[in-house]
Structure 1
């Protein structure tokens, strides 16, 4: 593969003679100097010169019938001027690459190894270094840096959540019917649930392990704060599922547990038991429409970074799973203004406690 060479002074002289002396075409000039036609075209456009504009200042318009000397003629090409301009451009310092800054590079590498996405890294930098312009980089710059050839030896692509060449089409297939009693479709919940303005609405799912093992985990994600809860269960049965759900929700304040949204798996068939015991509501997504539980799918994807598909959960303890969940909940998120789910959750719980204290101290008026 041939490397790019800048045009020499001799080549520029040939271009000037052939173009303005012999009036040759761009293709003929390119053949004569052994360059591509586009190289010749760019050279002529870049180094056009007016005789009355030696200092590159603005040349005022003069009607052609007023004066027709060289000073008001069409721009032409001068090899001497073109060579001088090229020398000036070469002396100008190149713009430094953003990730050539050592401290920024170290931060980005450490964050990628933690599993942070480029978008998350770019946003968090603005929070941690608000007054440092050197600690700034866009997520697009990080993606380009990861995929450019010199960085492939580091295999930084392995730290990205997904490595699809193209985005997959979002959509769903038609369902075959429901086998869940008292099923309430997702289209019927109040607008307050869908807007994420109110605390206490969850998205539920079951994460399965290796095929040979029946052990899996139940996950619950609070929609407003994106806080993840997870419990290991012996199998995917409805009885094991409601037991795990009850263990998760019974320690949460009543005003912080209002409803949950399931897919159409049969593991949620006994949802009424939890609804009646804890005073919650259950909604169901449309068939094959997991994007309607996007927060839960996102958090499940984070769990898969620690426990990839086909990983057996037989030797996994609840304490080890709690450590994984704790690390996920302490990871900042863009949708939370780069706060962590734990920070957002604690703020909301604190607000509930203040409201409860205020209500308890409010004097009741006698009637």
Structure 2
């Protein structure tokens, strides 16, 4: 029988071990029958046997469950490596969605969910760490999620992100954007943002209401002034404010939609919204921000050198992609 390596002993295996022990079957024979090493069976008997009753399956399983629960408390983020990675990326301004999404991409499977990271950040035992300060909105307590109409079927002509071409996904072709709306005080107004995936350039327009009419008007103003090669598509979330997305077809633009509650699929935009929040923190009344002030903020963000761009700025890469030379 093929060895099972380091997989944990299961409840069914504990039932068999208890039965064979009662039948005086030797440890090496039990190991052979289960396809496990002699040492793993010895360790199981030593750790989980009852002092008086000997090896009882239900008692052994209870002890194993208790140990597993304690291990989870010691390592709330699964392992020391994941713990260190999460802390590092939080300090660099990554959101839990971005962290979980990147771990999944790098490992080929889900390592940890963004919800687990949020629970860790807001756990009472971790309050002294003030990890919430690394989140864009810096909220001391988690607020119940407010629905923004995330209903896949309600968005007309919706095309899933999973149908997006490889050249967009791998940032090969220039001119593909990710959009979202940053909410203002009391959720009455907002700033619609779009981030270009290749250059990381950020564009933004104020909206007086978070509504589909306002959003599409902002997008048409934003993209209408760009050359066609700079505005090929945008990827959005499933909020009601994006219901009129199909009007971007007038600019020969395609639209794609991320999965519900998967903001990490629009990680470029999410990162930039976090940066924008450093200038305009949660609770800012956008009525007090005029267009010129917003433009100055966006210019400052777009003129910062980025490591992912080889320390060029988004503005430089955007201009180069259009064949435009920026004066030194």
Query: Is structure 2 residue 216 aligned with structure 1 residue 242?
Result: yes
Query: Is structure 2 residue 143 aligned with structure 1 residue 199?
Result: no
Query: Is structure 2 residue 235 aligned with structure 1 residue 296?
Result: no
**Distance in 1, Cα, partners of 2:201 & 2:281:** 21
Conserved? CA contact 2:136–2:278, under 8 Å: no
Report the CA distance shift for 1:263/1:163 in structure 2 as closer, same or farther (over 3 A). Answer: closer
Query: Is structure 2 residue 297 aligned with structure 1 residue 329?
Result: no
Where does residue 347 of structure 1 map in the other structure?
A: 320
Could you list the per-position Cα deviations for residues 220-254 of structure 1 after superposition, in whole angstroms to 9, with x for gaps in the alignment?
11000000000001101111111100010011110
- Displacement of 1:117 in angstroms is 5.7
- Displacement of 1:311 in angstroms is 1.1
Report the CA distance shift for 1:161/1:263 in structure 2 as closer, same or farther (over 3 A). Answer: closer
Query: Is structure 2 residue 153 aligned with structure 1 residue 178?
Result: yes
- Displacement of 1:178 in angstroms is 2.9
Instruction: Name whichever structure is richer in helix by fraction.
Output: 2
Report the CA distance shift for 1:320/1:239 in structure 2 as closer, same or farther (over 3 A). Answer: same
Could you list the per-position Cα deviations for residues 334-359 of structure 1 after superposition, in whole angstroms to 9, with x for gaps in the alignment?
1111111011111111179xxxxxxx
3-state SS of paired residue (1:345) = helix
**Distance in 1, Cα, partners of 2:211 & 2:151:** 21
Conserved? CA contact 2:306–2:313, under 8 Å: yes
Report the CA distance shift for 1:312/1:233 in structure 2 as closer, same or farther (over 3 A). Answer: same
- Displacement of 1:195 in angstroms is 0.8
Conserved? CA contact 1:117–1:161, under 8 Å: no
Aligned residues: 188
Query: Is structure 2 residue 290 aligned with structure 1 residue 317?
Result: yes
Could you list the per-position Cα deviations for residues 145-186 of structure 1 after superposition, in whole angstroms to 9, with x for gaps in the alignment?
xxxxxxxxxxxx99977799xxxxxxxxxx754310010000
Conserved? CA contact 1:178–1:264, under 8 Å: no
Conserved? CA contact 2:202–2:272, under 8 Å: yes
3-state SS of paired residue (1:350) = coil
**Distance in 2, Cα, partners of 1:300 & 1:162:** 8
User: After TM superposition, which residue ranges in structure 1, 4 or more long, deviate above 4 angstroms?
Assistant: 157-164
- Displacement of 1:315 in angstroms is 1.0
**Distance in 2, Cα, partners of 1:267 & 1:351:** 34
Report the CA distance shift for 1:329/1:314 in structure 2 as closer, same or farther (over 3 A). Answer: same
Conserved? CA contact 2:137–2:282, under 8 Å: no
Query: Is structure 2 residue 238 aligned with structure 1 residue 258?
Result: no
Where does residue 274 of structure 1 map in the other structure?
A: 248
Could you list the per-position Cα deviations for residues 27-56 of structure 1 after superposition, in whole angstroms to 9, with x for gaps in the alignment?
xxxxxxxxxxxxxxxxxxxxxxxxxxxxxx
**Distance in 1, Cα, partners of 2:221 & 2:324:** 24
Where does residue 9 of structure 2 map in the other structure?
A: none
- Displacement of 1:272 in angstroms is 1.2
Q: TM-score, normalised by structure 1?
A: 0.48
3-state SS of paired residue (2:322) = helix
Could you list the per-position Cα deviations for residues 35-90 of structure 1 after superposition, in whole angstroms to 9, with x for gaps in the alignment?
xxxxxxxxxxxxxxxxxxxxxxxxxxxxxxxxxxxxxxxxxxxxxxxxxxxxxxxx
If you compute each CA radius of gyration, which structure gives the higher value, 1 or 2?
Answer: 1
- Displacement of 1:331 in angstroms is 1.0
Question: 190, 195, 203: which is aligned to 1:229?
Answer: 203
**Distance in 2, Cα, partners of 1:235 & 1:207:** 11
**Distance in 2, Cα, partners of 1:159 & 1:177:** 32
- List runs of 5+ in structure 1 lacking aligned partners: 1-115, 119-156, 165-174, 353-367
Where does residue 93 of structure 1 map in the other structure?
A: none
Q: TM-score, normalised by structure 2?
A: 0.53
**Distance in 2, Cα, partners of 1:349 & 1:292:** 26
